[in-house]
Amino acid sequence: MKVRFGQSGLHFYSRETGLNVLLDELRLPRNLWSLAPRHVSLALTNACDLHCAFCFAPKEYASLPVDRVMAWADELDANGCLGVGLGGGEPTLYPFLVELAEYLSTRTKLAVTLTTHGLNFDHLPADKLCGHIHFARVSMDGVGETYEKLREQPFTTLCECLRVISLRFRFGVNYLVNSATISDLSAAAELASGLGASEILLLPERRTRGADGVDLKTSEALRRWIDGYRGSLHICVSEPPIDGLPVCDPLPNERGLISYAHIDASGSVRRSSFHSQGVAIDSTGVVEALRRLGES
């Protein structure tokens, strides 16, 4: 298990199982606190082979050099980061994805997660990544016709790829919540659970150029669904959550950049993928860029 020193105590984490153990009765001196966030997401590329109207990702082309990502990962690992999330755009279009995942899993102690639309996961890429991805997050925005209308792809293709993923990785479903998808939430959860998913991450829609964002009626329906859910999936919600949702925060003293940061495809670190302002990571490294971002 990897050990992280923080304001909340001594944190043990197993990337193979996802188990977290926090010894919060320990009060560690500030000079021992880890300098890196607990988790860092990386947009490896802005490229994507879908054109979803609700997508907030930048549309100008950018891609991270794999050697820089490896160097940043080494630095994050040495400074207490527990895991990195590989995303995009669509990370399966990143030409060095297999090479990078293998490096991260064998040369660092970081947990490696992958956020993907899942549609490129036939047996070949899944086999190459097997053993190097510790958790896969697959986007499922509605089921059947709802999904096909939003993604303009066959829902049967997603189901086939989910079966491939389920046989090789621990995985969960990322579910976009808006007025069009809320009615399919129970069916999506049942399908994901039946395939062996361990969690569902609820993503209330953000306002973008092509989407209005989640409305009040949908927010209220989501609260009711969460209150009434009795299935096996662990329910998570993206930050910042809708007001009034019952959430558990075991690390209340470790928020902001010490909790999470995002590196975009141009090589700038941001507070999240939704923030427009960031700090470019230069030769001084990612921890120094995080420090400058925190001061800005």
Specify the pLDDT at position 52.
79
Specify the pLDDT at position 17.
94
Residue 151 lies in a domain: yes
Residue 108 lies in a domain: yes
Residue 94 lies in a domain: yes
Task: Return the closest-CA partner of residue 262 out of 108, 107, 113, 85.
Answer: 85
Specify the pLDDT at position 207.
74
Specify the pLDDT at position 291.
97
Cα R_g (the chain), whole angstroms: 19
Residue 255 lies in a domain: yes
Residue 224 lies in a domain: yes
Specify the pLDDT at position 107.
98
Specify the pLDDT at position 247.
81
* CATH code of the domain covering residue 61: 3.20.20.70
The number of domains in the chain is 1
Residue 170 lies in a domain: yes
Residue 25 lies in a domain: no
What does the alpha-carbon distance between residue 90 and residue 264 come to, in Å, rounded to a whole number? 13
**What is the model's pTM?**
0.93
Residue 27 lies in a domain: no
Specify the pLDDT at position 184.
97
Q: What is the mean pLDDT of each run of 10 residues along the chain (296 residues)?
A: 95 96 94 96 93 73 96 98 96 96 98 96 86 96 94 94 95 94 97 96 81 85 94 87 75 91 97 91 97 94
Domain span including residue 121: 35-295
